[in-house]
């Protein structure tokens, strides 16, 4: 971990750079994980627009895998997907698999 | 050219804001502040200011809009009273911690309940730990002058904190008084242009505002606020001196009236201090009682050192509180007594008065001075906290 700044090295009431949340692991408390069926995905990118945590990643206009470092499992993407391509699965199932 | 005019307290604040011409003003009506925003809205409608007036759905939104505007680099202001300020509570702390140098005119009114629209200081007293500076006004002239100076104080690079200009509901807000106003050019030159060094719209130098800070950083951000507040007394004095050069009306952290040779001194905030000054004059003349009055202009930052200096020669000191901290007593009293501890001895009494707009007249003020003199003479100081004019 980088050394912590001292009080007077910090900006008053702000962080001296933008986009700092991207560096944090904010997906640790997810209960449900969105699992995308690429076969069904039509790349309408509605999930990308609606994801409140910018966890849906795209490349050249195509849907990529969800970034699980930031996904909190809210399920908006699954609820809004017009193709029903996203299924919310309990994280505990993956924990069992991983074990 | 300065001009002599007759304005109410609300109109004085609105007139000052017109001359300030803030970029953004977000307001929601509440008695007794409403006329202030009505008047300002008329300036907007008549094209006398370029301010973007945001008519929001609540005071919580008003303060939020002001914070948003401020971090985007705008000079922003708002106005409210009582429960409106209470609804802003959450965002008051955010404005201070985001170091938004905004100005809020707070027309002091009793907090509900019971519902009451009249003056006391329970609203702003509750916000004293929010990280805002608080300036209290004795009359409409001070409402006007403090609103203008508040902009400079808030935006000073050593401070960069929000400022509340507090003035008594109805007693000042709806009372027509004669005051002197500056011309617009003078005010605009005095306040200058606002340039926030870091702002949300400067995408070439992107920064994070309203951020998350946990155990590793929150504490340092708070200490920054403590330091900024510690810089504020010198800045308030400096801006007050500059303003005096411009207008002939001088302002500091407090106003000591006939304190130098006084045996009995009363401290307090706001419009009542005018009545108390008259009582001091009368008692000196009619009864030979050497009375002094110490009006606190800046309650936050709290001018402990200057207060001690001003009351050093008094035999007894009384503090007038137009608010009560339930289970403790008057907030101003306890802060003054705490400031004296270890530095200065002397008896003190606390006078709670005027809750919910209960009038305090000249005779009441004289009665308070006399009860201080009696206590001093007899050496009986109990009870410490006295409730002036309550039926019991």
- Mean pLDDT within B372-388: 97
Question: For B177-235, how does the pLDDT look when each residue is reduced to its tens digit (9 = 90+)?
Answer: 999 999 999 999 999 999 888 888 988 988 889 888 999 999 999 999 999 999 999 99
Query: What are the angstrom distances between the C-alpha of B36 and each of B14, B106, B107?
Result: 6, 10, 9
Residue B392 lies in a domain: no
Query: Treating both helix axes as pointing N-terminal to C-terminal, what angle do B140-155 and B218-247 enclose, rounded to 10 degrees?
Result: 130
Question: Looking at the structure, do residues B236 and B104 belong to the same domain, yes or no?
Answer: yes
ipTM of the complex: 0.84
For residue B313, pLDDT beyond 90? yes
Question: For B34-60, how does the pLDDT look when each residue is reduced to its tens digit (9 = 90+)?
Answer: 999 999 999 999 999 999 999 999 999
Q: Which residue of A has its CA nearest to B205?
A: A17
B32: cis peptide before it, omega within 30°?
A: yes
Q: Verify whether the Cβ–Cβ distance A7 to B97 is below 8 Å.
A: no
Sign of CA dihedral B49, B51, B53, B58: negative
Question: Looking at the structure, do residues B275 and B189 belong to the same domain, yes or no?
Answer: no
**pLDDT at residue B319, rounded to an integer:** 98
Chain A residues whose CB is inside 8 A of the B228 CB are 12
Question: Looking at the structure, do residues B232 and B91 belong to the same domain, yes or no?
Answer: yes
**pLDDT at residue A19, rounded to an integer:** 84
Question: For B222-242, how does the pLDDT look when each residue is reduced to its tens digit (9 = 90+)?
Answer: 999 999 999 999 999 999 999
B150: nearest Cα among B142, B226, B353: B142
Q: Verify whether the Cβ–Cβ distance B99 to A19 is below 8 Å.
A: no
Question: Looking at the structure, do residues B214 and B263 belong to the same domain, yes or no?
Answer: no
pTM of the model: 0.93
- Range(s) of the domain holding residue B217: 3-247
Which domain-ending residue is among B213, B247, B281?
B247
Q: Which residue of B has its CA nearest to A24?
A: B212
Question: Looking at the structure, do residues B115 and B158 belong to the same domain, yes or no?
Answer: yes
Cα angle, residue B104 at apex, residues B353 and B278 outer, rounded to 5° = 35
| Rounded-to-integer distance, Cα B213 and Cα B60, Å | 22
pLDDT band at B326 (very low <50, low <70, confident <90, very high): very high
**Domains of chain A: residue spans and CATH:** 27-94 (3.30.70.20)
State the smallest CA–CA distance between residue B41 and chain A in angstroms. Answer: 31
State the smallest CA–CA distance between residue A90 and chain B in angstroms. Answer: 28
CB pairs under 8 A between A and B: 52
Chain A residues whose CB is inside 8 A of the B70 CB are none
- Select from A6, A7, A17 the Cβ nearest to the Cβ of B207: A17
Q: Which residues contact residue B7 at a Cβ distance below 8 angstroms, ignoring those fewer than 6 apart?
A: B15, B140, B144, B176, B177, B179, B181
pLDDT band at A22 (very low <50, low <70, confident <90, very high): confident
Which domain-ending residue is among B228, B247, B266?
B247
**pLDDT at residue B277, rounded to an integer:** 98
Q: Verify whether the Cβ–Cβ distance B224 to A7 is below 8 Å.
A: yes
pLDDT band at B302 (very low <50, low <70, confident <90, very high): very high
Chain B CB within 8 Å of residue A22 CB: no
- Select from A4, A13, A18 the Cβ nearest to the Cβ of B221: A13
- Mean pLDDT within B276-280: 98
State the smallest CA–CA distance between residue B95 and chain A in angstroms. Answer: 10
Chain A residues whose CB is inside 8 A of the B224 CB are 7, 10, 12-13
- Mean pLDDT within B295-318: 98
| Rounded-to-integer distance, Cα B12 and Cα B145, Å | 9
Question: Looking at the structure, do residues B237 and B283 belong to the same domain, yes or no?
Answer: no
Question: Looking at the structure, do residues B155 and B208 belong to the same domain, yes or no?
Answer: yes
Q: Report which DSSP code applies to B25.
A: E
Chain B CB within 8 Å of residue A84 CB: no
Q: Verify whether the Cβ–Cβ distance B198 to A11 is below 8 Å.
A: yes
Q: Which residue of B has its CA nearest to A6?
A: B220
Q: What is the mean pLDDT of chain B?
A: 97
Question: Looking at the structure, do residues B180 and B302 belong to the same domain, yes or no?
Answer: no
DSSP output for B331-368: HHHHHHHHHHTTT----EEEEE--GGG----HHHHHHH
**pLDDT at residue A1, rounded to an integer:** 52
| Rounded-to-integer distance, Cα B285 and Cα B265, Å | 16
Question: Looking at the structure, do residues B39 and B151 belong to the same domain, yes or no?
Answer: yes
Residue B84 lies in a domain: yes
State the smallest CA–CA distance between residue A6 and chain B in angstroms. Answer: 7
Chain A residues whose CB is inside 8 A of the B212 CB are 21
Structural domains counted in chain B = 2
Helix (H, G, I), strand (E, B) or coil at B116: coil
Query: What are the angstrom distances between the C-alpha of B352 and each of B46, B324, B328, B346, B391?
Result: 44, 7, 12, 20, 13
């Amino acid at each position: 971990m980088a050394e912590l700044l001292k009080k007077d090295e910090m900006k008053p009431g702000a962080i001296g750079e933008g986009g700092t949340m991207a560096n944090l692991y904010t997906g640790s408390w997810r209960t449900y994980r969105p699992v995308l069926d690429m076969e069904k995905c039509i790349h309408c990118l509605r999930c990308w627009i609606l994801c409140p945590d910018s966890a849906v990643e795209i490349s050249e206009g195509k849907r990529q895998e969800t970034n699980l470092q930031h996904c909190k499992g809210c399920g908006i993407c699954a609820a809004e997907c017009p193709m029903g391509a996203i299924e919310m699965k309990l994280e505990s199932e993956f924990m069992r698999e991983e074990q | 050219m300065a001009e002599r005019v007759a304005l109410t307290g609300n109109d004085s604040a609105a007139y000052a804001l017109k001359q300030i011409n803030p970029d953004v003003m977000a307001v929601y009506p509440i008695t007794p502040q409403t006329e202030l925003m009505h008047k300002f809205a008329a300036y907007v409608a008549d094209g006398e200011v370029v301010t973007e007036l945001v008519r929001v759905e609540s005071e919580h939104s008003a303060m939020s809009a002001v914070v948003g505007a401020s971090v985007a680099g705008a000079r922003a202001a708002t106005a409210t009273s009582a429960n409106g300020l209470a609804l802003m509570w959450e965002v008051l702390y955010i404005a201070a911690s985001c170091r938004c140098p905004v100005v809020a005119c707070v027309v002091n009114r009793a907090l509900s309940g019971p519902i009451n629209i009249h003056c006391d200081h329970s609203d702003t007293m509750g916000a004293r730990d929010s990280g805002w500076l608080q300036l209290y006004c004795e009359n409409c002239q001070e409402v006007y002058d403090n609103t203008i100076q508040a902009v400079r104080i808030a935006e000073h690079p050593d401070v960069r904190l929000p400022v509340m200009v507090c003035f008594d509901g109805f007693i000042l807000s709806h009372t027509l008084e004669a005051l002197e106003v500056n011309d617009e050019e003078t005010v605009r030159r005095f306040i200058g242009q606002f340039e926030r060094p870091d702002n949300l719209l400067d995408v070439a130098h992107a920064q994070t505002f309203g951020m998350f800070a946990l155990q590793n950083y929150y504490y340092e951000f708070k200490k920054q606020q403590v330091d900024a507040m510690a810089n504020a007394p010198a800045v308030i004095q400096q801006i007050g001196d500059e303003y005096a050069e411009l207008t002939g009306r001088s302002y500091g952290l407090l106003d000591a009236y006939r304190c130098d040779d006084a045996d009995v001194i009363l401290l307090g905030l706001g419009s009542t201090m005018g009545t108390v000054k008259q009582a001091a004059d009368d008692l000196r003349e009619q009864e030979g009682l050497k009375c002094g009055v110490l009006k606190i202009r800046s309650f936050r930052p709290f001018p402990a050192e200057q207060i001690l200096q001003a009351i050093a020669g008094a035999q007894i000191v009384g503090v007038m509180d137009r608010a009560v901290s339930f289970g403790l007593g008057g907030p101003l009293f306890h802060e003054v007594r705490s400031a004296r501890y270890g530095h200065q001895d002397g008896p003190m009494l606390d006078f709670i008065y005027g809750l919910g707009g209960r009038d305090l007249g000249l005779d009441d003020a004289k009665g308070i001075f006399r009860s201080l003199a009696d206590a001093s003479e007899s050496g009986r100081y109990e009870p410490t906290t006295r409730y002036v004019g309550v039926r019991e």
